[in-house]
Structure 1
Amino acid sequence: MGLISEVLLLPFAPVRGSAWAVRQVLQEAERIYYDPATVRAELAKLEELLEAGEISEEEFDRREDELLDRLEIASRGGAGTGGGTSR
């Protein structure tokens, strides 16, 4: 039955290939998004913005919390395995 199903599903091969490509792009985007080095760099930039007076303390706290959440997820190993897309 495997050969028959492959022949019948052949017209859908481009769609299946596109879905695979989209999954690969999403995995790479998650890997970069949750990369601890990237998050630390964003935290440093955020602190520079606060010190320069370009953002308020409230904005700093909100964005810092988001970045720390990302760092926590990365440290738990949930990044890059689809853990970030289940929200």
Structure 2
Amino acid sequence: MGLISEVLLLPFAPVRGSAWAIRQVLQEAERIYYDPATVRAELSRLEERLEAGEISEEEFDRLEDELLDRLETGARRSTGTGDGTTR
């Protein structure tokens, strides 16, 4: 059955290849987005913007909370899925 299914699914090979490429790009984007060094650099830039008067305290607090949530999510992702299993 394996050979027959491969022959029948051959026309869909470009779609499967595209799906694989999209998954790879998504994984890399998520890795960068949740990277602790990236988040810490954004926190530093955010603090600089606050000190320069570019943003208000309320906006700083909101953005800081979002970045800290990303940092926490990234830490959970690197240690496992949070349900006792690892990736």
Where 1:15 maps in the other structure, the secondary structure is helix
CA distance in 1, matches of 2:41, 2:21: 28
Would you say 1:41 and 2:41 are equivalent positions? yes
Specify the alignment match of 1:50 in structure 2.
Answer: 50
Could you give the per-residue CA deviations for residues 54-73 of structure 1, whole angstroms, max 9, x where no partner exists? 00111100100000000001
Percent identity reads 86
Structure 2 letter corresponding to 1:6: E
CA distance in 1, matches of 2:63, 2:2: 51
* RMSD, aligned α-carbons: 1.5
Structure 2 letter corresponding to 1:31: R
Could you give the per-residue CA deviations for residues 12-69 of structure 1, whole angstroms, max 9, x where no partner exists? 0000000000000000000000000000000000000000000011110010000000
Which 4+ stretches in 1 moved above 4 angstroms? Answer: none
Structure 2 letter corresponding to 1:12: F
Q: Work out which structure has the larger RCO, using CA pairs closer than 8 Å and 6 or more positions apart in sequence.
A: 1
1:75: how far off? 1.1
Specify the alignment match of 1:84 in structure 2.
Answer: none
CA distance in 2, matches of 1:64, 1:9: 48
Where 2:54 maps in the other structure, the secondary structure is coil
Specify the alignment match of 1:77 in structure 2.
Answer: 77
Give the number of equivalent residue pairs: 80
